[in-house]
Structure 1
Amino acid sequence: MLLRLLLLSLVPAAASAQTALRIDGRIDEAQWRDAHVFRDFKRVQPYTLDAATVVTEARMLSTPEGIAFAFRCEQPADIPRVKPFTPRDRIRNADRVNVNIDFDADGKTGYNFTVSMSDSIEDAIITNENNFSTDWDADWQHAVQEDEAGWSVEILLPWTIATMRGSSTPTREVAVNVDRVVASRSERSAMPPVFYDNSVYLSGFERVMIAQYRSQVLDFFPYVSALYDLKHPGSELRTGADLFWKPSGDFQLTATVNPDFGQVESDELVVNFDAIETFYSDKRPFFTENQALFDLQSAPDGVILYTRRIGAASDDGSGNAADIAAAVKVNGNAGNLKYGALLAEEADDAGRRFAAARLLYPIGESSIGTLITSVDRPALDRQAQVMANDWRWAISPGLRLEGQFLLSDIDQAGVNSRDSGGVLRLLSNPTPQWQHIAILTHLGGALDFNDAGYMPRNNFNRALWESSYKRSNLPADSSIAAITWRGIGIYRANDDGDRLSAYGYLTRNAEFRAGGSHFLELRLDSAGWDDQITRGNGKIWRDARQSLFTEFESARRGKWQYQLGVWALQEGVDDWALQLESSISYSVNDRLSIDGEISPRWSRDWLIWLDGDRLASYRRTQWDTAVNINWFPRARHELRAKLQWFAIDAHDATAYRIGPRGSLYPDGTADDFSVNNFGLQLRYRYEFAPQSELYLVYSRGGYERRERHDDSIDLFTDALSLRDADQFLAKVRYRF
């Protein structure tokens, strides 16, 4: 508290001399009369670009405390008000407003702030034009008020919420987009009328010049957590702290000592038989704060710095997560140059040491940058360095060329390996209806950025073309308001001269005037090599195959909403599979909601790797189910129950070996097996002050594989008894 008072005493007196806005949802202060106004909202979902069916007005105002926004949303009595309370970052079907802002107005990083009619919130970071990550949780103010004619929202974004270039100047230019969603009509209207589904989104925001005020903050977050193991009775007590120091928008420092990453958030259950590892998001506060600068993605689906590597399974081979001793991160601006550095060290002799440095120099809406990562893994006698150079050239408002050059240098036990790769990407929006994307990718056979990043594969070449067309000039009596067509073609090969399966697909998404949508996708895969399935033990030849997927999403009808999809696909050697995808949501009332998902899959030819050059094709039944219950008994109190079950029954197998020219020839049979994965989490959260929370969490679940054939009922019954983990966690995190 003394540190906070000291910092506040350094804020210029002029800031405190003005009357502060009261963020209460009532837009009645005199300051709002001089605000920048956004009117004439246009519909972007459905993508008709005509006038919104209800009137919305938004205002933006620069204040000493931060950048403030106010929305006035008219909502006549004949439009249902959909206002369920939801957990943070989980607003799915509710009346809501969005503020999307790029504080540097350079099209590199944006921030999304969502407030629903129930005053539930989301916040996200926007990178690569339209990639949203809700892992980040920021400190900002918001309030909602309802009346007979509609509802109002006030939002205040503190000046210290993110790094901002040139924070000492009296004015700054920001880029802004505001939108509103009417849930009962599945309608989104925006000003300016840009849509996040377009390849050019962040760069299409409206530029606004505002007054700028200096601000600073020092936040100290100590925590204490107690874990009690019910299966193997015993307890564990942990303490640690996070420090966030923001002396100005041009420099921010984040540090952590002995961070606690207890299971207050649970990952989705996954059973992965593929050669590519599963990618998980990261909700840990230290790694989400000021992380946007480091968020450099690479085709196909790679990430140069993947923070889940830090504190992942230890290199000592135990399978346990490594403890993190300490970590520090700085972000700042020197003139136009943006810079960042991250250091993290794990505990114990097998602990890894991570380092990353980032430089980015914007030139208008163009830019050039470098990201370097370094990982020392003493238990493996391995050092890995990676450099990624990236650049973006904004040729015109609707035409952009981007590129990356990648280089890795790996030394393991005295053996050195170096290789390179690159990505070239062209994005074009010649009209609001048309957009095109072209991507060329080359990844060398020894290129490897998996020590600090996420790399699905190397030894890879790809050419991709994508075009989409949005049609909204449909007859007035048509039940469909807008249709989006998208076609994608992809050619793939490796550096060994093997032509991998090329594929293309055509999609059609129709949005109905009464709400809801229908999606249809047809995919065709050519014959080609699969060089990954055997994990380096040979390649197989795949014949041509096809698949068809269709899904209907209903509009909100009273307390219900549902989705239903059907996917028919060829897989394995040459046979078919069928998968159903369904979800349903029911609101008992605004404070209690239940939603469930179930996706069964029946395969007649599921081909997986066994060992060496041996594979097997199984008949498979797979169940992927989840149930979530969210209850908000009172303000700042949240109770959540989450149950997941993932099961596979594989039987009647035919074993194969790889023959000449990648053909598969029968080689006897393989054992039946079943897999069960079950997880249950009960979580109570109480926010007793902003960013100060109490968690009480009960978790139970486990994983089991049995060498036998089980039916679905037996699998589910057995899943309920799984108990690899059975524990109770209490955690308090307090903000000073």
Structure 2
Amino acid sequence: MDGVLDEPEWQSAQSYSNFVTTEPLTSEPAKYHTEALVYTNAEGIYVGFRNAQPAEAKRVQRRFARDAFILADRNIVGIDFDGSGLSGYDFTVGAANTRQDGIYNNEKNYSGDWDGNWTSQTSQDEEYWYVEMYIPWTVAPMTNPEGAQKQMKFYFGRYVFDESLRFAWPNASAARPTFLSDWAPVSVDHVATSTLDLFPYVSAEQDLEENDGEVRAGVDVVWRPNTATQFTGTINPDFGQVEADDLVLNFSALEVFFAERRPFFTENQALFRSEVPNGDRLVHTRRIGAASDAGDEPVTDIDLGAKLSHFGERLDLGFFAVTEDDTAASEGRDYLSTRIQARLGDAVVGHSLTYADRSTLSRKALVNSLDLDWQSAGEHRVRGQLFYSDVEQEANEVNENTAFNQSDGGGWGQWSYAPNDEWRSNLTGYYYGDEFEMNDLGFLTRNDWMRVAADVRHDVNSYAPSSNQLSGWYSAKLSYEENNAGDTLMQGLDLQRQWVLRSTREFSLQVHLETSAYDDLITRGNGLLKRDAQQSFSFSYLNPRGNDFTFQLQYVAETKGTDKFSHEFIISPQYYLADTVTVGGRVSYTWFEEWLLWDFDSEQLATYESEVLDIDLRLDWFPTSRQEVRVKLQWLGVESDALQGYGLDDNGRLDPSSRPVADFKLSDVALQVRYRYEIAPLSEVFLVYNRGGFWDENDAGVSPWGLAENAWNNVTQQTITAKIRYRF
């Protein structure tokens, strides 16, 4: 694999060169000649690209971390190994040989959690740049065909970053609801394979604050007895922080979603993904290994985990189970999930089950789900899912002697209509019962909720050659929400407009309007707040993307529970010092004239005049193609001066209270310095330094930078971690 397509095998490879423009979605012949080559043998699939790009067309060849979004020229290969349209695997290579992979589900829902065992290399000359990729047959489970030939579906893409142009063969676009279905069928010789891969690891962590250390060892196992079946197991997995979550400021009553980063839970997980359009999930693996139910440990060790999946011609099956270790005061939890799905003509129907046994809380939770995905003639698509939860809990000291046995249901449905590339629309409805619950293993934003939304979007994909516009779109959305008592929670209108210029500058404008409605969560169960009408206005600008210095500017003005506007200013700069060195981040400043929050100390609503500063600074350096140094520093600072406490009158309106409300200040800081060395695909060495600090006091004399200093000095975590994971 040298990125030079001079091997004799490429002379007999299948060739595809009729690329068309899919961004903007004009379907016109590609501006620059692009050829994709496919060659298969007993080892796997080899894909080559020849990308014409003359000297006058700027090549953007920046290097990025593995699985980071590649803001550079790149080639994309999509493979639906079964040709079913259910899932497609994405293999993306940047011009500097940066690799990214992921999985498409339900036509165009993309997840970058998956990491596959494949490799690539790039090269270039004056007129072309080239990509050479090797994808083993064992990279993903797939069905066994009856004959010697296997029918797959392929998608080949190319992105010219400096001109914001995307080319593809066949004429498939993620902007269409038929993205996966539009991939082209390709027949290849079927190769029966079986593999056994072992991923042992050893990690050592030194806690610099407690002067304490820990050494851990374990192993992951991936066994494919045949191409259609895969078993993934783990013993004593290590989930140390080699990838830090972002700091998040959340004063709402809703949980924040964090993506999965741990290898065992991202490998071979596609069959168990069950996402609701609003972001809810039937299976949310971040629940596993989380803080113990007794609250004595921030994380819980995992003893064993296993996943089994089998893909048939018409029927797919999956099984997933994990058991946790006990802590000093808490018994480990047990989790189980199953999946079965069948292809029936133009429809896919499935059943999923999740089960959680939380012995410390004397709690058992079972959720069943039925789902449907039907598509006809490319224009109409109907999707939906029905849920039923059954949760039993016996009283004990840990759960505050709370016993219950509750069952309830919920579901969602969506009809999509896309008659052409310029118009698309959706009608979506949700209903969750009062006692519906799937947070023991899933992610549920809230229950006791109903929503109906209708949206329409018009894309303008072609402008006159004399126009400075490249593409753009308009959209409008109407939404209505209420709880099951019939209280209106939201009825609103969203309007959006985006312009993309030929210079690749981008502008966007968004307006959100809501009528007066109730908020049944902000008081934490202490009554319904009747809100005034709410508004939000936002504007953003992105400068030409191919420059060495790029930035995005955003301004957001919105009301936060009262009729007073908050003002947020955001700048996201990136400076490419070289193709291998990038510094940048995001700085956000928000001023609240009247921020309405729940004050837990005085048990009432309160308003604050507040300033919030969120700074996220990053440096990425790639000394070689196998080495990566990343520095990530984030600081959140909040300074709030109390204005007034409030109760609620008989109509749910704010009623000034005589109970005092205190000012508050908080500061949260996190630093991670990480070195990564890739020994081979999926074999890595990490050396990581983590430091975190938090400060929360009412000190009227502290300056904004004093807030940062106080958090930095009040260390809550400081560790050094070394880890090696190797694939045999």
TM-score exceeds 0.5:
yes
Contact 2:51 2:128 in 1 (8 A): yes
Q: 1:378 aligned to 2:378?
A: no
Q: How does 1:473-492 map to 2 (within 5 A)?
A: 473-492=462-481
Q: What SS does structure 2 have at the residue aligned with 1:302?
A: coil
Question: In structure 2, what is the equivalent of residue 732 of structure 1?
Answer: 724
Give the CA deviation at 1:546: 1.3
| C-alpha displacement of 1:683 | 0.7
Alignment of 1:184-333 (within 5 A): 184-333=162-311
Aligned amino acid, residue 235 of structure 2: V
Which residue of structure 2 aligns with residue 707 of structure 1?
698
- Contact 1:271 1:677 (C-alpha < 8 Å) held by counterparts: no
- The farther-off stretch of 724-733 and 25-34 is 25-34
Q: Distance in 1 between matches of 2:457 and 2:333?
A: 45
Which SS does the other structure have where 1:718 is aligned?
helix
**Amino acid across the alignment from 1:420:** G
Q: What SS is found at the alignment partner of 2:181?
A: helix
Structure 2 CA distance, aligned partners of 1:277 and 1:82?
Answer: 39
Aligned partner of 1:680 in structure 2 is: 671
Cα offset, 1:394, TM superposition: 1.5
* Structure 2 letter corresponding to 1:652: A
For residue 32 of structure 2, give the secondary structure of its aligned residue in structure 1: coil
Preserved contact between residue 551 and residue 563 of structure 1 (Cα < 8 Å): yes
Q: Percent identity between the aligned chains?
A: 35
Number of the residue aligned with 2:381 = 400
The partner residue of 1:626 within 612, 616, 620 is: 616
Q: Is the 8 A contact 1:218 1:246 kept in 2?
A: yes
Which of 688, 704, 724 is matched with 1:697 structurally? 688
Residue 465 of structure 1 corresponds to 454
* Cα distance in 2 between the residues matched to 1:474 and 1:185: 15
Distance 2:16 2:457 in 1: 29
What RMSD in Å do the two structures reach over aligned CA positions?
Answer: 1.6
Question: How many pairs align?
Answer: 714
> What is the distance in 2 between the residues matched to 1:557 and 1:424?
41
Alpha-carbon separation, structure 2, partners of 1:169 and 1:314: 51
1:8 is matched with none
What residue is the counterpart of 2:397 in the other structure?
none
Tell me by how many angstroms 1:302 deviates.
Answer: 0.4
- Map 1:383-532 → 2, pairs under 5 A: 383-413=364-394, 415-532=404-521
Is 1:66 aligned with 2:40?
Answer: no
- The equivalent of 1:639 in structure 2 is 629
1:89 alignment partner AA:
D
Cα separation, 1, equivalents of 2:285 and 2:55: 48
Cα distance in 1, alignment partners of residues 635 and 147 from structure 2:
55
Paired residues of 2:36 and 2:47 also in contact (CA < 8 A)? yes
Structure 2 counterpart SS, 1:160:
helix
Residue of structure 1 equivalent to 2:160: 182
Structure 1 pair 47/715, CA: closer, same or farther in 2 (3 Å)? farther
**Partner Cα distance (2:176, 2:378) in 1:** 13
Take 2:648 and 2:14, find their aligned partners in 1: how far apart are those partners? 68
Which residue of 2 is the match for residue 3 of structure 1?
none
Report if the CA contact (8 A) 1:504-1:524 is conserved: yes
Shift of residue 33, structure 1, vs aligned partner: 3.6
Structure 1 residue 649: Cα displacement: 1.1
Counterpart for residue 593 of structure 2: 604
Structure 2 counterpart of 1:579:
568
Following the alignment from structure 2 to structure 1, what is the Cα–Cα distance between the partners of residues 325 and 12?
A: 55
Residue 676 of structure 1 aligns to which amino acid in structure 2?
S
Contact 1:677 1:703 in 2 (8 A): yes
Choose the corresponding residue for 2:641, options 643, 651, 654: 651
1:26-45 alignment runs, 5 A limit? 26-45=4-23
Paired residues of 1:418 and 1:447 also in contact (CA < 8 A): yes
CA distance in 1, matches of 2:508, 2:91: 28
Aligned to 1:155: 133
Q: TM-score, normalised by structure 1?
A: 0.94
Question: 1: distance between equivalents of 2:434 and 2:147?
Answer: 48
Q: Which residue of 2 aligns with 1:19?
A: none
Aligned-partner Cα distance in 2 for 1:37–1:534: 63
Q: Which residue identity lines up with residue 301 of structure 1 in the other structure?
A: G
Kindly indicate whether the alpha-carbon contact (under 8 Å) linking 1:62 and 1:212 is maintained by their aligned counterparts in 2. Answer: no
Mapped to 1, the partners of 2:638 and 2:67 lie a distance apart of 31
**Cα contact 1:107–1:365 (8 A) shared by 2:** no
Instruction: State the match for 2:398 in structure 1.
Output: none
| Maintained 8 Å contact 1:287/1:307 | yes
**Residue 344 of structure 2 is aligned to residue 363 of structure 1:** yes
Change (3 A) 1:171 1:298: same
- 1:166 deviates by 2.4
Give the distance between the partners of 2:147 and 2:203, measured in 1 at CA.
43
Q: Which residue type is aligned with residue 493 of structure 2?
A: G
Q: CA deviation at 1:169?
A: 4.1
Displacement, 1:689? Answer: 2.8
Cα distance in structure 1, aligned partners of 2:576 and 2:131: 23
Contact kept, 8 Å, 2:70 with 2:98, in 1: the verdict is no
CA distance in 1, matches of 2:494, 2:246: 28
Q: Deviations over 1:343-375 (max 9, x none)?
A: 100111521000000001123442000110000
Displacement of 1:341 after TM fit?
0.5
C-alpha displacement of 1:31: 3.1
Q: Which moved more, 1:59-68 or 1:628-637?
A: 59-68
Q: Does structure 2 conserve the Cα–Cα contact (< 8 Å) formed by 1:165 and 1:336?
A: no
Which consecutive unaligned segments of at least 5 residues does structure 2 have? 395-402
- Counterparts in 2 of 1:40 and 1:334: CA distance versus 1, 3 Å: closer
Q: What residue is the counterpart of 1:13 in the other structure?
A: none
Cα distance, 1:195 vs structure 2: 2.6
Measured at CA, do residues 139 and 443 of structure 1 come closer, stay the same or move farther in structure 2, by a change above 3 Å? same
Moved more, 61-70 or 614-623: 61-70
Residues of 2 paired with 1:524 and 1:492: CA distance?
A: 14
SS of 2:489's equivalent in the other structure is coil
Q: In structure 2, how many angstroms separate the alpha carbons of the residues matched to 1:696 and 1:542?
A: 50
Aligned letter for 1:453? G
Q: Distance in 2 between matches of 1:449 and 1:502?
A: 26
Confirm or deny: 8 A CA contact 1:46 1:511 kept in the other structure: no
Cα distance in structure 1, aligned partners of 2:535 and 2:182: 37
Which secondary structure does the structure 2 equivalent of 1:330 belong to? Answer: strand
| 8 Å contact from structure 2 (residues 606, 642) kept in 1 | no
Please name the residue that 2:581 is paired with.
592
Answer yes or no: is the 8 Å Cα contact 1:537–1:613 preserved in 2. Answer: no
Q: How far does residue 586 in structure 1 lie from its aligned partner after superposition?
A: 1.1
| Contact 1:472–1:482 (Cα < 8 Å) also in 2 | yes
The alignment partner of 1:618 has SS state of strand
Once residues 392 and 404 of structure 1 are traced to their aligned partners in structure 2, the CA distance between those partners, rounded to angstroms, is 9
Please tell me whether the aligned partners of residues 667 and 707 of structure 2 are also in contact (alpha carbons under 8 angstroms).
yes
Q: Does the CA contact (< 8 Å) of 1:168 and 1:214 recur in 2? A: no
Which consecutive unaligned segments of at least 5 residues does structure 1 have?
1-22
Contact 1:493 1:499 in 2 (8 A): yes
Distance apart, 1:626 and its partner CA: 0.9
Q: Deviations over 1:276-325 (max 9, x none)?
A: 11101111111001101100012432000000000011101225211111
Structure 1 segments, 4+ long, off by >4 Å, are: none
Q: CA deviation at 1:43?
A: 2.2
Q: Supply the AA of the counterpart residue of 1:649.
A: E
Residue identity in the other structure for 1:82? V
Are the aligned partners of 1:657 and 1:666 in contact in 2 as well (CA < 8 Å)?
yes
